[in-house]
């Protein structure tokens, strides 16, 4: 198998895992935040702020995966 094919496969795996993990995590976090807001509406502001911060950290993982894919692309 040529080296460029291995690198292309590595890029696909990196991007797949880098989007799958945070995507699932964001879905679970949003569901739990909505559940918490439904149970205690008076803490909605605090939960929303915490949720947005957590989602930003999770999204950073996807951006790191994209960065690694770009670095692999330069090796092709």
Average pLDDT over residues 41-59: 94
Q: How many domains does the chain have?
A: 1
> What's the rounded Cα separation, in Å, for the pair 40 and 71?
45
Counting every residue written for the chain, the total comes to 76
The predicted model scores a pTM of 0.78
- Kindly tell me if the per-residue pLDDT of 31 is higher than 90: yes
Task: Quote the distance between the C-alpha of residue 31 and its chain's center.
Answer: 16
- Kindly tell me if the per-residue pLDDT of 37 is higher than 80: yes
Average pLDDT over residues 44-61: 94
Within a domain: residue 3? no
- Kindly tell me if the per-residue pLDDT of 10 is higher than 80: yes
Within a domain: residue 2? no
The domain containing residue 27 runs over which residues? 17-74
Nearest to 18 by CA among 58, 71, 74, 76: 58
CB 73 within 8 A of CB 15: no
Within a domain: residue 4? no
- Max distance between CA atoms of the chain, in angstroms, equals 59
Phi, psi of 68 (to 5 degrees): -65, -40
């Amino acid at each position: 198998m040529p080296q460029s094919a291995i690198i292309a496969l590595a890029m696909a795996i990196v991007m797949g895992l880098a989007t799958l993990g945070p995507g699932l995590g964001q879905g679970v976090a949003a569901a739990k935040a909505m559940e918490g807001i439904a149970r205690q509406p008076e803490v909605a502001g605090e939960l929303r702020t915490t949720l947005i911060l957590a989602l930003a950290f999770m999204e950073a993982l996807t951006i790191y995966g994209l960065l690694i894919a770009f670095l692999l692309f330069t090796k092709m």
